[in-house]
Amino acid sequence: MSRKIIHIDMDCFYAAVEQRDNPSLNNLPVAVGGRPERRGVIATCNYIARDFGVHSALSSVIAKRRCPDLIIIPPNLNKYRDVSKIIRSIFLNYTDVIEPLSLDEAYLDVSDSLHFSGSATLIAEQIKKEIKEAVNLTASAGVAPNKYLAKIASDWDKPDGLKVITPEQVDDFVFNLPVSTIHGVGKVTANKLKNMNIRTCGELQALKMPLLNEKFGRFGKRLYQYARGIDEREVITQSIRKSVSVERTFNTDYDSIDQLYEKLPDLIESLQTRISRNKQSNFKSVFVKIKFNDFSTTTVERRAEIIFLDVFQQLVKQAYERQYKPVRLLGVGVRLAETANDEVSQLELPFY
């Protein structure tokens, strides 16, 4: 089914907002994130900083090593939310079929929009123009017959770009795309495909569905479809939260179980507060996440409907004993049970 999908992605959103509000930061490497001395991480950065190898989710300490002049600004989520609300109000002028992915990114289905005689390209151009006028920030847009291609297109000519892929252009466009552009293909899958001499979607098209299912399981069908530019996913206007969690990055690594146990009560209290605040009371399991000092991560989970300290202690012990390495981050959470009254919400990136 061919749709008219627009993917809007704000350019370096958090950093761009800070530069907009403080013009003295222009032409300087700027990032938003946690402080290096508190072992923070980078949430986003401008293009000047990216030229030094800085990127989101990078340790702030490493970011400063790569770019000694990097200016790291603490996040101001309330300010970013206010800007995001203005941007969303612009989207609503053209469609109410909107799927927000974060504060700075969203899919819009304009298949039935009557604006500009139904031209998705002209709608995208106008949205970009109105965003610039309203909040003095630039956005990049991708226009395509489905979500997968629209997402790729929005990243095609950043910043302030607009890439259009018409239904007639899909076959030629996807043929030379690297398989790494396929949603869900990470390093492991990409290396597996590389070992099969598959580097582009065109090469991937030569593999039949049975072989893909054999090699990649259920993901084989997605590989088969995306390699051909096929994506039947609809733009979902609401998403159901599947988990609630909290986590802490320690100022210094912890190298004993007892030290981790000491942190559990405060984490569990914060978790219970978040569960209550989001009106989530029914859950089916609890889990613990540990990130070791080499940045490897492990998660242990078990079925439970009530939060008990000793259960989390058992999970911490299991997780820690998988590697016996110093720990830099500890997280606790719950998987929510599916109910008819699930609240719609989104967890935010922990900067500290």
Handedness of CA 44, 50, 52, 54 (dihedral sign): positive
Give the pLDDT score at 241.
74
Give the pLDDT score at 186.
83
Using DSSP, state whether 32 is helix, strand or coil. strand
How far is the C-alpha of 141 from the C-alpha of 210, rounded, in Å? 36
Residue 9 labeled ligand binder: yes
Start-to-end C-alpha separation, the chain: 43
User: Quick one: tokens of 16?
Assistant: 């761009």
CB 79 within 8 A of CB 20: no
CATH assignment at residue 290? 3.30.1490.100
Provide the pairing of β-strand 139-144 with 162-164: parallel
Give the pLDDT score at 338.
65
Task: Kindly state whether residues 263 and 322 are assigned to the same domain.
Answer: yes
Provide the pairing of β-strand 42-45 with 327-336: unpaired
Task: Kindly state whether residues 218 and 247 are assigned to the same domain.
Answer: no
Q: Indicate whether 313 belongs to any domain.
A: yes
| Residue 256 φ/ψ, nearest 5 degrees | -145, 150
Q: Indicate whether 327 belongs to any domain.
A: yes
Task: Kindly state whether residues 186 and 265 are assigned to the same domain.
Answer: no
Task: Kindly state whether residues 292 and 217 are assigned to the same domain.
Answer: no
Task: Kindly state whether residues 251 and 303 are assigned to the same domain.
Answer: yes
Q: Please give the chain's pLDDT, 352 residues, in tens.
A: 579 999 999 999 999 999 999 999 999 999 999 888 777 889 999 999 999 999 988 889 999 999 999 999 999 999 999 999 999 999 999 999 999 999 999 999 999 988 999 999 999 999 999 999 999 999 999 999 999 999 999 999 999 999 999 999 999 999 999 998 888 888 888 888 999 999 999 999 999 999 999 988 888 999 999 999 999 999 988 766 788 888 888 888 999 999 999 999 999 998 888 888 766 667 889 999 999 988 889 999 999 888 888 899 999 999 999 999 999 999 999 988 764 333 333 333 333 3
Give the pLDDT score at 190.
87
List of residues 6+ apart from 260 with CB closer than 8 A: 254, 290, 316, 320, 327, 330
CA of 98: how far to CAs of 5, 90, 104, 167, 205, in Å?
A: 10, 11, 13, 21, 31
Residue 160 one-letter amino acid: D
CB 144 within 8 A of CB 165: yes
CATH assignment at residue 193? 1.10.150.20
Task: Kindly state whether residues 202 and 258 are assigned to the same domain.
Answer: no
| Residue 118 φ/ψ, nearest 5 degrees | 85, 10
Task: Kindly state whether residues 255 and 326 are assigned to the same domain.
Answer: yes
Task: Kindly state whether residues 210 and 265 are assigned to the same domain.
Answer: no
Beta-bridge partners for 78:
none
Task: Kindly state whether residues 326 and 277 are assigned to the same domain.
Answer: yes
Q: Indicate whether 61 belongs to any domain.
A: no
Q: Is the peptide bond before 159 cis (omega within 30 degrees of 0)?
A: yes
Beta-bridge partners for 41:
59
Q: Indicate whether 28 belongs to any domain.
A: no
How far is the C-alpha of 153 from the C-alpha of 51, rounded, in Å? 22
User: Quick one: tokens of 330?
Assistant: 């500890």
Q: Indicate whether 179 belongs to any domain.
A: yes
Q: Indicate whether 187 belongs to any domain.
A: yes
| Residue 313 φ/ψ, nearest 5 degrees | -60, -40
Give the pLDDT score at 348.
39
CA 341 to chain centre: 25
Give the pLDDT score at 46.
96
Which residue among 18, 99, 105, 269 is the active-site one? 105
Q: Indicate whether 218 belongs to any domain.
A: yes
Task: Kindly state whether residues 205 and 256 are assigned to the same domain.
Answer: no
Q: Indicate whether 304 belongs to any domain.
A: yes
Q: Closest Cα to residue 143, out of 196, 197, 93, 107? A: 107
List of residues 6+ apart from 94 with CB closer than 8 A: 108, 110, 113, 115, 123, 126, 127
How big is the chain, counted in residues? 352
Count of domains for the chain: 2
CB 287 within 8 A of CB 334: yes
Nearest-10 Cα torsion for 14, 23, 40, 295? 70
The answer to whether 338 is a known catalytic residue is no
Can you give the residue range of the structural domain that contains 204? 171-226
Residue 266 labeled ligand binder: no
How far is the C-alpha of 251 from the C-alpha of 154, rounded, in Å? 37
How far is the C-alpha of 177 from the C-alpha of 179, rounded, in Å? 6
